[in-house]
Amino acid sequence: LGTSRWLLMDIAITLVELPECHVFKIPPRQSAAGYKAEDWKDYHIWTGKCKVVGKGEVCEIMLEDPNTGELFASCPVNANEEENSNTVEPCLDSGRFFVLRVEDGSGRHAFIGIGFQERGAAFDFKVALADFKAGVKRDKQAQQAPLIQASNTDYSLKDGQKIVVNLKGKNKVEEKKVSAYQQAVGGVAPSAPAGVAKSGLSLAPPPGAKKGGISAIAPPPGGKKAAWKSSSTTGAAPQQQTATTTQAQKKDSIDDILGL
């Protein structure tokens, strides 16, 4: 619940309620530096509950009887007071003891010491006061901040106007999707990688094979040295006849030399 809402509704909010608080009568201040709990630990006068209630810009530290709720003393704390004010002073020698400036409502005031048995209770007491002051300061700054004026420029689309948004990389994604679809339905053949024919997958010919057709297959052992050729190969018969004639001429020449 924000402090600004307290100002609007003018209601009291309990910030913290501590069931056990000890009150002491304190002697006059011995040093300008501050109070020491060691100086008045033997002057205990009352035990009850401590309640911190915030309303508007003022929170009130109320010491009440735990059984009847009767108010023993009250210490008003203004959220706009200086940090070095003497309304609530921590003791120099202990974090569990404080000195309060209490008032009776008629303008008279006095200083009393309070202490908590547990350090957690003392911590909650300090945090409640600090949060209240910070909340009031924050809400006052928010109320004083200038309001942002709305612009009078008309940003609505006129008749026929369109907004075009170009998303980076979207066109490439769409092209990949179209290409994949066309390949799936056979619309566009995929580009063949290096070494692969466009008409289909083809293996490299074995060593010694002819580039124009199917390579000759070696004859079986003991078979004739006739050339195996493909029926689809044209021009293979003239080449074979020429090779046979050349071999015959060479044999005749050797027979002439030997006198056979």
Q: Label each residue of 155-224 as H, E or C.
A: CCCCCCCCCCCCCCCHHHHHHHHHHHHHHHHCCCCCCCCCCCCCCCCCCCCCCCCCCCCCCCCCCCCCCC
> Which residues contact residue 190 at a Cβ distance below 8 angstroms, ignoring those fewer than 6 apart?
183
CB atoms under 10 Å from CB of 225, counted, come to 6
Instruction: Give the pLDDT of residue 56.
Output: 85
Q: What is the pLDDT of residues 28-78, one digit of tens each?
A: 888 888 899 999 989 999 999 999 999 888 999 999 999 999 999 999 999
What letter does residue 48 receive in the DSSP assignment? E
88 vs 161, more confident:
88
Angle made by CA atoms 64, 115, 125, in degrees to the nearest 5: 75
Instruction: Give the pLDDT of residue 258.
Output: 52
Instruction: Give the pLDDT of residue 85.
Output: 81
Report how far Cα 220 is from the mean position of its chain's Cα atoms. 77
Catalogue the long-range contacts made by 79-84 (C-beta closer than 8 Å, 24 or more residues apart).
Answer: 79/3, 79/132, 79/133, 79/136, 79/137, 80/136
Whether the pLDDT of residue 149 is over 60: the answer is yes
Task: Give 234's pLDDT tier (boundaries 50, 70, 90).
Answer: very low
Task: Give 199's pLDDT tier (boundaries 50, 70, 90).
Answer: very low
Report how far Cα 136 is from the mean position of its chain's Cα atoms. 32
How much is the average pLDDT of 169-186? 63
Instruction: Give the pLDDT of residue 61.
Output: 96
Are 183 and 190 spatial neighbours (Cβ–Cβ below 8 Å)? yes
CB atoms under 10 Å from CB of 62, counted, come to 20
Q: What percent of the chain has pLDDT over 90?
A: 34
For the whole prediction, is pTM greater than 0.85? no
Task: Give 204's pLDDT tier (boundaries 50, 70, 90).
Answer: low
Top-confidence range, 87-96, 235-244, 249-258: 87-96
Instruction: Give the pLDDT of residue 220.
Output: 60
Instruction: Give the pLDDT of residue 62.
Output: 96
Instruction: Give the pLDDT of residue 1.
Output: 45
First to last CA, the chain: 132
Average pLDDT, the chain: 75
Task: Give 230's pLDDT tier (boundaries 50, 70, 90).
Answer: very low
Task: Give 256's pLDDT tier (boundaries 50, 70, 90).
Answer: low
Q: What is the pLDDT of residues 70-123, one digit of tens each?
A: 999 999 999 888 777 889 999 999 999 999 999 987 888 999 999 999 999 999
Instruction: Give the pLDDT of residue 122.
Output: 96
Closest CA to 215 of 205, 203, 201: 205
Angle made by CA atoms 166, 171, 173, in degrees to the nearest 5: 125
Catalogue the long-range contacts made by 2-11 (C-beta closer than 8 Å, 24 or more residues apart).
Answer: 2/135, 2/139, 3/54, 3/57, 3/79, 3/132, 3/135, 3/136, 3/138, 3/139, 4/139, 4/142, 4/143, 6/54, 6/55, 6/56, 7/56, 7/57, 7/139, 10/55, 10/56, 11/55
